[in-house]
Amino acid sequence: MLNTVRDWMNDLVVFVDPNSTITEALGIMRRRYVNNLITKKTKESPEYGIVTSIDICDKIVAQGRDPSTVKVHEIMSSPLITVTTQMTIVECAKVMKDHRIHHLPVADANGTVVGMISANDFLIVAEQLGHGNSERTLH
């Protein structure tokens, strides 16, 4: 039965230095075909953070800011809200809903980010369930 975050998560996690500019972050996003980046832990930023395409739209483009002068750490969300690989898809969806977020880093028992799950992944979950695949149930 495929109902845990581990079953549906994407193990591609792309990292960015929190001192990178938004222009640099956008280049990474474009080259890696992702719409979110996890910030690396540094001395200055000892916790993971996340920056998403929505953050860039809302905090850079909509405000007329220059992406070449703004650093990732200035607009990233931190500390991360994460889920674990053992959580059910239903629990994960509730975390997204409760926090009004669309991208959730998946952390292992040590707090290391090992994957990502996004609202778009739930479209695939819903599609699979809609095909009447009895092996794929949420509970």
What's the pLDDT score for residue 129?
A: 74
Q: Is residue 119 part of a domain?
A: yes
26 Cβ contact partners less than 8 Å away, ≥ 6 residues apart: 56, 67
Q: Is residue 25 part of a domain?
A: yes
What's the pLDDT score for residue 39?
A: 96
Q: Which residues of the chain have pLDDT under 50?
A: 134
Q: Is residue 138 part of a domain?
A: no
pLDDT tens figures, 57-90: 999 999 999 999 999 999 999 999 999 999 999 9
Domain count of the fold of the chain: 1
Q: Is residue 31 part of a domain?
A: yes
CB 72 within 8 A of CB 81: no
What's the pLDDT score for residue 134?
A: 46
**Domain CATH number, residue 18:** 3.10.580.10
Q: Is residue 122 part of a domain?
A: yes
Structural domain for 33, as ranges: 5-130
What's the pLDDT score for residue 132?
A: 59
The model's pTM: 0.84
Q: Is residue 137 part of a domain?
A: no
Q: Long-range contacts for 27-36 (Cβ within 8 Å, ≥24 apart)?
A: 29/53, 35/103, 36/103, 36/116, 36/118
